[in-house]
Structure 1
Amino acid sequence: MIASSTKSTPGSASEPAVPEPQATQRDVRPVSPARRRVRMILLLMLATLWAYRNSFAAPFTFDDTHAIVDNNAIRHLWPLSGVWISLRPLTNLTLAVNFHFGELNTFGYHVFNFFVHIVAGLALFGVVRRTLLLPRFAGRFETSADGIAFVSALLWMVHPLQTESVTYVIQRCESMMGMFMLLSLYCFLRGAAGRWSWLWQLGCAASMLAATWSKEVAVVMPAVLLLYDWVFLQSSPGEMLRRRGFVHLLVVLAALRLVWAALPAAVGPSEEAIAKGAEVSAGFGYQGVTAWEYFRSQPGVILHYLRLTFWPHPLNIDYGWPVAHGFWQVIVPGVVVTLMFVASAIGCWRRSPFGFLGMSFFIVLAPTSSFMPIADLAFEHRMYVPLASVVVLVVAVLYGLSLRAIEDESARRLALRTAVTLATLCLIITTVNRNRDYAEHIPLWAKSVELSPWNYRALFTYGQVLGRDGQSEAQIEQLEKSLKIIERGKTHTGLGIAHARLGDTVKAIEHYEAAIRTDPSYVLGYINYGNFRAREGDFPAAVDLYRRALKVQPNHGQAAFRLGMALYQN
C-alpha cells in the first residue's frame, strides 16, 4: 500500500480548518508596590514573632524587682500624679496600665514590649525606605529601596542583641525611647518632603517629647535631626531655619525640658530622698567611678558592642564591666574608636550617608558611652537604637558590593536572598536561645557569673535565685564569693537568711549584725534581722530593730506592720 502524498490545506473544502492553539497561561500581573510593601510588613511581624515566641512567659528579673514588683507607684492608675513621676513618667504609666489589667502576670508586660519593638522596626523600615527615595539619591534606589529597607528592618528586629530591650521587661524604657526616636525621625522626613508638613512636624515634636518621657538618652535627638537635615535634605543653615526651624525649635525645647528635669539627678539624690529610699545605684555623679575612668573604658565597650553586632554570642545580662587599664585596654581601643569617629565626622561634613550613620551611632551612645559616669560601664540594651545605624550601613555596603561583583541580575538576586535568609535564620535561632535563658532565673544568672566571675552583683543575684530555689548551700557559696569582692549589707543579709534557713543560728546572727554595721541605711537589713529575732521569740530585740528601720525610712510600710505585730506579741 502506498500512502497518499496529498497534503490538505487548512481551510480547504475537503477538510475543516483546525484553529491555531491559544495560550492557556493566565496573564501574570506584577504585584503592585503597595501590596508588596504590605507583604514585607507582614513578614517582618511574623519573623519577629517567631524569634520571640518563647519570651512571653519569662519571669521578672534583675531591676524588674524594684521597678515593677516593689514599685508602689504603679499600683494605681489614678490619680496620674502618683504614676507620672520620675524622669521616665511614660514608662511608669505603661507599667501602671499593665499592672491594672494583669497585676504581676508577666504575659501582658511582654506583649506590650513586643508591640513596641514591632512598631519601632516598622518605623525603621519607613525611615530607610523614604530616605533612599529622596531627591538626594536621584532615583538610584527607585527599584531597590523597598528591599534594602526590608532587610535592614528584618535583621534589626530579630537580632539577639535586642533581647535585653524586649524580653527584659523594665528595659522597655530603652525600646520605647527607640520607638519614639525612630517615629520622630519618620515624621520629620515626611514633614520635609510631603503634604501636611505642619502636621508631620507636630508629630515629630510629640514623638520627641514621648521619647524624653521614656528615657533620658533621647536628649540627643535634636542633634540627630539636624545632621539628617544637613546630609539627606541637603539644606544650608539658612534653609533649615526658614523651612524647618519651627520643628527643630520644638525638639530642642523638648530636650531642654528633660535637661531641666534631670538637673537634680546630675548631682545625686538629696539626703531627704535617700532617707525615703531613693535608688542610689544608678545615675550621674555618685557611682564611685571617675569621669576619666569611665571615659577611658568606653572605647573597649564600644568595640565589644560592635563585635556583638556581627557575632552576638555570648550575651550577658550584667557585665560588671571593669575599668580599663594599660596599653591594650585603653590605647588600642581608643585609637580605633577615635579613627572611626573622625571618619564619621568627616563623612558627615561632606554630607555622606555613611557619615550620618556613623555619627548617629556615636551620638545616641554618647550619654552612656562617653565621659559622663553612670552606674555601669556596659549594658547590651544601650545598643537598641545604635544597632540600626550599623545594620543599615552593612546592608547598604553589601548591596553595593553585590552590584559590582555579580553582573547577572537573576544570579545577584538569588545570592542576596540566600545570604539574607541564612543570616536571618541564624539570628532568629540565637534570639530564641537567648530568650530561653530569660525563661528561668538560674540559667540566666549562671551564665552571667560564668562570663563575669569578678562581678559581685551577678554573684549576689545568682546566690539569691539559688536560695529562692531552696539551694541554700549553693546560695551561701555564691554570696561568700560576692562578699570577698566587695562587702555590702545586702550580701550579709542574704547570708544571714541562708544560714538561718539551714539552722545555723550563730552564723545567721553574725551576718545580720554585720549587715547593719556595714550599711546602717539598709532598711531591709533591720527588717530581716527583726524577723529572725521574732521567730526566735526575742520580741523586744525585734521591736528595737523595726524601730531602727523606721528611723532610716519613716514611711516604710513593711517595717511599720512588723513593728505592730511584734508589739502585739511582746
Structure 2
Amino acid sequence: MLPALPALAVIVLWWPSLCASFQFDDWNVIVNEPRVHSLAAWWHSMPGIRPLLKLSYALNFSLDPSPTGFRVVNILIHALNATLVGLLLRTRALRAGLSEVKASHAALFAALLFALHPVQTEAVTYISGRSSSLAACFCLLSLYCWVRSEASERSVAWLLACCVCFGLAVATKETALILPLALLLYSTDRPLSQTLQRLTPLFLLMALMLAVALSLPTYRRLLAVSLDTRTIGENLLTQSHAIFYLAGQLLRISNGNADPQLPVIDALNWNAALSAFALANTLLWALLNIRRRPLAAFAVLWFMLWLAPTNSLLPRLDVANDRQLYLALIGPAWWLAVHLVTWHPTRAALRPVAGALILVALSWATYQRNLVYETEVAFWEDTAARNPESSRAANNLGMAYAIECRFSDAETAFKRAIALSSDDYYSRINLILLRKGLLPGVDPKRCRHATYN
C-alpha cells in the first residue's frame, strides 16, 4: 500500500484539474499543430525533434482531442513517476544504512513531496509541460532498470532495458542526454571503476544520439537559435541568478509563475558576481563532500545536474520556468525526508505532525495553483498580475478577454501591452484587428453583443 500512496495522492489532488482548458503553448504545439492530429500526420512529419513526445500528442489527439483527455495522461504519468521516485529512494536509503522502517518512511515522504509540490503543476496541469514529465518517466524507468541490473541474475537484460529507456527519454526531450551522469551520481556509494565500466554502453549511446540529433536540420536550427539568443558568458551570469530563483520556488509555494520575467545579465556586476561565486562554491563543496556528507552533497548535485541542460551553457528564450524543477526537486526532497525521519528521538512525536503540516500546505498550494488553469482568462490574469511589466502577459490577457467577448477589457489589456513595450507590434496589430472585428479566435456570432471602450 505504501508504494502506491504517492500515486493515489496525485490522482486525488489533480482530479479537479481535468476540466481546465488548453493554455499558452498548448495552442501552438497541440491544438493548432496539424502534425500531431493523427498518426499519419505525425509519421509524415518525421524525422524531427522530440518524436516520442509528438507521438504521444498524436495518440492523445486521435483518442480524445479535448484537454481532459490530454490531462488524464499527464496525471497518470506523474502518478507513475511519484511511485518510481519512492521505490528508487527506498533502495538508496537501504544502501546508505537506514533501517527498513526509516528507509520506507523517508522514501514515502520524499515521493509525496515530489508528487504534491505546486511547481509540478507546470509539468502536469499545463499540457505541453508533458515534455518534462514524460522524459522524466523514461529517465526514472532507466534508473530503475539500472538498479535492478546490479542485483539481478539477468543483469544484461536489465542493462539493455536501461539503455532502451534512455533512448526513449532522449526521443521525448533532448535534455535527457545527461541521464548517464545521474546514474553515476546515484551510484556514488559504489566503486567508481565498477560504475564507469557499467556505464560504458550508456555513454556510447549518449554520443550516438547526440551525433544523430546534430545531423538533423531541425536540431541544428534549434541550436543556432539558442546560441544567437545571448552569449555563453551572458547566459552563465543570467543563470547564476535564475538557479537561485528556481531554488526559491521550492520554498515559495504560493509563487507559481507561468511566465517569470527574470533579468538577462549582459555585464558583470556585484550581484551577478556574488551569485556566480556562491553557486560555484556550493557546487565545489558538494563535489568534495560526496563521500563525507553524502546526503547533502547528493541533494545539491542532483538538483544542479537536472538544471544544467536548461540553466547553464545553452541559452533559452525564457530564462527559467517551474517545469525545469520537475526532476531536480528530488534532491532537496530527499534531503528533507531523511532529516525528518532521523530527527532526534526525543522529538519523534513531532515527526508525523511536521510531515503532515508540510504535505497539507503543499497540497493546498497545488490545489490553488490548479485553479489558475481553469480558463485562459484566469491563467493570464494571474500571469499579468505576477508580471506587471510584461507586455507579453498583457497581450495574451487581451486575447483571452477577446475570445470571451470581453472587448472593453481586451482593448484595455492591448493598450497596456503597447504602453509597456513600444516594440510590441503584436499588441498593436491585435488592437487594430479587434476594433475591425477580425481578431483570430473570436467568434463573431457569439460576441455580436460585445461592446468596446
Counterpart CA distance in 1 for 2:286 and 2:351 is 27
Seen in structure 2, the aligned counterparts of structure 1 residues 147 and 260 have a Cα distance that, compared at 3 Å, is: farther
- 8 Å Cα contact 2:109/2:337 also seen in 1: yes
Q: Shift of the alpha carbon at 1:483?
A: 2.4
**Percent identity between the two aligned chains:** 24
Summarize the alignment of residues 102-113 of structure 1 with structure 2, pairs less than 5 Å apart.
102-103=64-65, 105-113=66-74
1:276 maps to which residue?
A: none
2:435 maps to which residue?
A: 499
- 8 Å Cα contact 2:391/2:424 also seen in 1: no
Counterpart CA distance in 2 for 1:486 and 1:368 is 30
Secondary structure of the residue aligned to 2:435 is helix
Answering whether residue 80 of structure 2 is matched by residue 130 of structure 1, we say no
Seen in structure 2, the aligned counterparts of structure 1 residues 46 and 228 have a Cα distance that, compared at 3 Å, is: closer
* Structure 1: gaps (5+ residues): 1-38, 269-282, 502-507, 513-523, 532-570
Counterpart CA distance in 2 for 1:206 and 1:375 is 31
Seen in structure 2, the aligned counterparts of structure 1 residues 44 and 98 have a Cα distance that, compared at 3 Å, is: same
Note the alpha carbon deviations across 1:476-501, whole angstroms, 9 max, x for none: 22222222314244322211122213
Answering whether residue 432 of structure 2 is matched by residue 490 of structure 1, we say no
CA RMSD of aligned residues (A): 2.5
Aligned length: 440
Note the alpha carbon deviations across 1:380-436, whole angstroms, 9 max, x for none: 111111011111122223333x1xx224xxx61x32111111111111111011101
Comparing 197-206 with 139-148, greater Cα deviation is found at: 139-148
- 8 Å Cα contact 1:347/1:356 also seen in 2: no
Secondary structure of the residue aligned to 1:56 is helix
Q: Tell me the TM-score normalized by structure 1.
A: 0.72
Q: Shift of the alpha carbon at 1:83?
A: 5.2
Seen in structure 2, the aligned counterparts of structure 1 residues 211 and 445 have a Cα distance that, compared at 3 Å, is: same
Comparing 177-186 with 475-484, greater Cα deviation is found at: 475-484
Q: Shift of the alpha carbon at 1:53?
A: 2.1
**Which amino acid letter does the alignment assign opposite residue 117 of structure 1?**
H
Secondary structure of the residue aligned to 2:15 is coil
1:352 maps to which residue?
A: 294
- 8 Å Cα contact 2:102/2:341 also seen in 1: no
Counterpart CA distance in 2 for 1:161 and 1:388 is 12
1:560 maps to which residue?
A: none
* Structure 2: gaps (5+ residues): 445-453
Q: Shift of the alpha carbon at 1:253?
A: 3.5
Q: Residue 276 of structure 2: which of 321, 324, 334 is its match?
A: 334
Summarize the alignment of residues 442-521 of structure 1 with structure 2, pairs less than 5 Å apart.
442-484=377-419, 485-501=421-437
Seen in structure 2, the aligned counterparts of structure 1 residues 40 and 267 have a Cα distance that, compared at 3 Å, is: closer
Counterpart CA distance in 2 for 1:300 and 1:201 is 38
- 8 Å Cα contact 1:462/1:475 also seen in 2: yes
Q: Tell me the TM-score normalized by structure 2.
A: 0.90
1:145 maps to which residue?
A: 103
Secondary structure of the residue aligned to 1:439 is coil
1:419 maps to which residue?
A: 354
Summarize the alignment of residues 249-328 of structure 1 with structure 2, pairs less than 5 Å apart.
249-261=204-216, 263-268=219-224, 283-287=225-229, 289-324=230-265, 327=269
Larger relative CO (CA 8 A, sep 6+): 1 or 2?
Answer: 2
Summarize the alignment of residues 200-215 of structure 1 with structure 2, pairs less than 5 Å apart.
200-215=158-173
1:557 maps to which residue?
A: none
1:62 maps to which residue?
A: 24
Q: Shift of the alpha carbon at 1:40?
A: 1.1
Counterpart CA distance in 2 for 1:313 and 1:465 is 23
**Which amino acid letter does the alignment assign opposite residue 231 of structure 2?**
T
Seen in structure 2, the aligned counterparts of structure 1 residues 57 and 299 have a Cα distance that, compared at 3 Å, is: same
Q: Shift of the alpha carbon at 1:352?
A: 2.6
- 8 Å Cα contact 1:301/1:377 also seen in 2: yes
Comparing 116-125 with 246-255, greater Cα deviation is found at: 246-255
Q: Shift of the alpha carbon at 1:195?
A: 2.8
**Which amino acid letter does the alignment assign opposite residue 500 of structure 1?**
K
2:191 maps to which residue?
A: 235
Counterpart CA distance in 1 for 2:196 and 2:133 is 31
- 8 Å Cα contact 1:208/1:254 also seen in 2: no
